[in-house]
Amino acid sequence: MKEFDGALATLVRDMVETMYAAPGIGLAAPQIGVPLRVIVIDLSVGEEKGALITVVNPEFVEREGEQRHEEGCLSVPGFGGTPVRPARVVVKGLDPDGRERVYTATDLLARAFCHEIDHIDGLLFVDRLTPLKRDLMKRKLRKKVRSDDWDE
């Protein structure tokens, strides 16, 4: 993304509203059908002023360590898994005004950055699970699709 204009401000506002309404702690533009490298993250789910992080064109500068914790996803409602994620990440990108920002994150924030950057790279947390767990989840998803049962 190269233009930092009113369209970007509108996109970010829409993404934040969608994320909070879900409710979720992160959202990537491709999740709402917009093929841009934009993510929003707020671990407080809108409860803490100043907790919202918006990054345009995020990229990893460093990744180290390993952690495994349960993750869910607004793109795969009702399903969770424990993908392997880095314990610590450094992410650089631009804020909505086009200024460079660098974030050092651990724990949940590191996982959220990884999760959302995966989305803009065309991946879901499911892609990071072991083959056995991924196959089990696919079977459950197919069953839900066949029965049209999404009330979980």
So which residues are the catalytic ones? 116
- Determine the Cα–Cα distance for residues 51 and 128; give it in Å rounded to an integer: 27
- CA 51, 57, 63, 69 dihedral sign is positive
132 C-beta neighbours (distance < 10 Å), count: 8
For the beta carbon of residue 117, count every other beta carbon within 10 angstroms: 21
State which H helix or E strand residue 26 sits in.
strand 26-28
